[in-house]
Chain A
């Protein structure tokens, strides 16, 4: 490359101006360094304060995101850092969700005995969390293949480390190892695919029209292979079949707050990347290849839905069950994204926002069951609902929402997704979309069958040992507060959709 002085100066100016859009990332990085620094001191008081330091960092990040979203109309979309990153509604909305997820992770961690009593490595835990959030923010902003890869690796490395937080536990190390093996494989495959994209597209920036017109010249099957290779990395993050094998093990081995985070934030980031890719594909790729992409995404969605829901039927552990339910959620969203002809971004963002609250509430529930009541398998829940009615009722609401039945936000989000698919089917008459629609709705019935087992054991079975175990008041309060949005967004979905519409309007 031949860089002349003026263009170098222009680039430097661009980079300097770009920092204005990096507020959340800079704050998170600063607090990461602060945490690592503070962790060096042995003071007990200081150690106790570490989670709150991290919390401050995340909340400050959250405020900057809110600030950005507030001025969305004025700021428009800006590509900065010489075309590596983009600042738009989508990136900042995702950033908002990441921050909320970060705050909730810390709240759950503070409620967890296991994590509270674990004294060594406490600073690290919160520091990695901040790194993870930084990586996610960057991922949602990437419009360049290489930047995307770096951001994704940042997320992955932080994830591997967080998985093994509870080193003393047998399955923590096992799950960490599995996660690393699968993760590096997926990254490698993705990188391989990206190298093809770069080679044939002639650019690393996947928002260039030229990039896609170049790729349009490829023949169908070959393009699909490249596309699938590249998507391997994203599909891994959203836990879609056939890249979901890590999910059950990681969900079983990592601490509950971290699992809730994994089931939510990387999924959101992965979907943001997929949405960005599909938006470009819709505008620039030749229609013949677009159809191929639709078939591919639809096929993956169907596979994910079927595998997720049917495998969940056979699970006896609550965490593994939720792992497969998380897989099936990915399938639902992919199904809506496969409907290329309509813009499903709004529905998907709504779904993801609701999923955030569903996941954190259900994993708080799991954490309470495990730590307070020593219940790890679904059948051990027998009778617990009668002894702890508040917990039982909240559990029902959460599971109803996960299934997608009224009166919960889970229903509204599924309704919006299915509406998009139906609309697209009605416009194109594509049998694939109809299959997806019918499969999605009927598999909701299957999903209900495995979710209902939890209230079934909670309320219908007896012989729960009379040993007195205490569920703390703060557990109930936290869980109620997390469940509240699930009802709220059913009765007032407009509060969320108004924001999302604004966001989508100012997204590229």
Chain B
């Protein structure tokens, strides 16, 4: 099973081709192909999860590494782009989540009737790109998949969305594109600064073409690069993220070199590069104040696309911070820890307060996403074992919970054509089973013990609180203020629950009426129940995930603290 990761990426993409060949009217066939492809992907993802060995000393597992594009840039050396994928503690949870949510999304899309072929083709393209993003270990490949997510999403919102879909789609696209252009600037800077010591050793003739390159040779090459005795023509510039994480691989004198004293507008260039990357991924996460695209996109997107957006696409932002930003610029990460933590706390509080004020259930959930993603930033900024593990756990847990939440709004919207909270009262009477699941989802999201959200937020808060003594990154008040976010979360969820589901049964007369508010259908059970079970399982047995991912995350933390301290 050497190609398991490639299969994860290419099964959906292959399904796109199959769907494009199917006739337009063959609705069920198209849906079935999508379900089979994502189902297969889920099975592989689960297999990967169980086969993943947390105890190994290898940094990445199931690695596939092929040379893809090599461009000889003469005096600049060789530009090497690799098809380089692998999985570690940081990405394992995300891969599993992608497998899960993709299947749920197909089931949620089952009722799509408009241009089915186009919809599922774009959907699978999106799923494949997200998976690629989580698995790529080459910055170029990552960027390719990152950009590749934009267009399908743009069309999925713009063509199958609500009344203001065009505005939302353009807004989503412009925000994310600006973010990705900021990332592009740093990407160019990084690869012109970083060399692949192994490939350089071979190119410079220090090692045989096919034979293994010893660590001694690598050290020798790195020494020669530093000494400047290696001609610049024989350097192999790489996009490989693991290579970018080692200070020894930076060409001396390059602007992004760790010891580079170059300053721009009074700041070291590396700090500015960190900020550019951070903003790029923060837009995706999203973080206050660059979050404004999110509520629009969520409100207009069809249910399944909202699910994907909240559960997977937001995670790509957080994942980018873990995979690229922090390990490559650890000293800048330490320098800006206060700032990142502050932005996280502001997102938690501001997102929660906005959610409290929303009349539209879907908008409320969208803002609650902003609030919950703030915890990811806070945990990451704390640079403690609890905080970083919590941040990844939060991404995983929020992926499950937000999928439930958006399906819940979809259920209400499908029946009544409205999502306004005040249009409903006492839904518990007509939809008891649904209400039970809503209670689970709401309580999980507000962080009640026993659900996965609790574990995640507890870890993050513990990390933020101990940070001042353990790593010296964040002041204590941040953890305390963030706790207020939990309180606000409880407020808007309980208030919404009380208004919509309890009291005397009433539905706004202008809507489809009481009769339409029937309980869940089989398809809806199929989506909500497994998610609810998973939320509970990962709330009660956090070690199920943590024992797999912790060693990888701790390794990440060591790396950052060691190089950034």
Q: Which residues of A contact B (CB under 8 A)?
A: 342-343, 346, 386, 389, 396, 400, 405-407, 415-416, 418-419, 422-423, 425-426, 429, 434, 437-438, 441-442, 444-445, 448-449, 452, 456, 459-461, 491-494, 497-498, 501, 504
Contact = CB atoms under 8 A, between A and B. Distances in A.
Contacts of B155: 459
A389 B20 CA distance: 12
25 contacts: A346-B73, A346-B74, A389-B118, A406-B144, A407-B148, A422-B192, A426-B192, A426-B254, A434-B264, A438-B185, A442-B181, A445-B174, A448-B177, A456-B158, A456-B166, A456-B170, A460-B158, A460-B165, A460-B166, A492-B69, A493-B69, A493-B71, A494-B71, A501-B72, A504-B74
A394 B115 CA distance: 19
Given A342-B75, A445-B177, A422 B147 contact: no
Interface of B: 69-76, 79, 115, 118, 143-144, 147-148, 151, 155, 158-159, 165-166, 169-170, 173-174, 177-178, 181, 184-185, 188-189, 191-193, 253-255, 262, 264
B544 to A, nearest CB: 37
A405 B148 CA distance: 9
A342 to B, nearest CB: 7
Nearest to B118: A389
A55 to B, nearest CB: 34
Given A406-B147, A419-B76, A438-B185, 7 more contacts: A419-B192, A422-B188, A422-B192, A445-B181, A448-B173, A460-B159, A460-B166
Given A419-B188, A423-B76, A434-B264, A449 B159 contact: no
B173 A452 contact: yes
Of all A-B residue pairs in the complex, the 7 with the closest CB atoms, nearest first, are A426-B255, A406-B144, A460-B158, A460-B166, A406-B147, A418-B188, A422-B188
Nearest to A425: B255
A143 B33 CA distance: 62
B262 A429 contact: yes
B357 to A, nearest CB: 30
Contacts of B191: 419
Contacts, number: 86
Contacts of A492: 69
A406 B180 CA distance: 11
B185 A437 contact: yes
Contacts of B71: 416, 493-494, 497
Nearest to A496: B71
B158 A419 contact: no
Majority secondary structure of chain A interface residues (helix, strand, loop or mixed): helix
A343 B75 contact: yes
B81 to A, nearest CB: 9
A493 B147 CA distance: 19
A442 B76 CA distance: 25
B76 A342 contact: yes
B174 to A, nearest CB: 7
Contacts of B181: 441-442, 444-445
Contacts of B69: 491-494
A403 to B, nearest CB: 9
Contacts of A445: 174, 177-178, 181
A504 B72 CA distance: 13
A389 B115 CA distance: 12
B185 A441 contact: yes
Contacts of A415: 188
A282 to B, nearest CB: 13
A254 to B, nearest CB: 32
Contacts of B253: 426
Nearest to B79: A419
Contacts of A461: 166
Nearest to B70: A494
B100 to A, nearest CB: 27
A491 B68 CA distance: 8
Contacts of A405: 147
A459 B188 contact: no
Contact of B184 (A400, A441, A448, A501): A441
Nearest to B166: A460
A422 B159 contact: no
A503 to B, nearest CB: 12
Most buried by A among B71, B76, B253, B262: B71
Given A415-B188, A423-B192, A460 B169 contact: yes
A497 B78 CA distance: 12
Nearest to B193: A426
A28 B191 CA distance: 45
A445 B180 CA distance: 9
Contact of A419 (B73, B144, B254, B264): B73
A498 B71 CA distance: 8
Contact of B144 (A407, A422, A437): A407
Contacts of A422: 188-189, 192
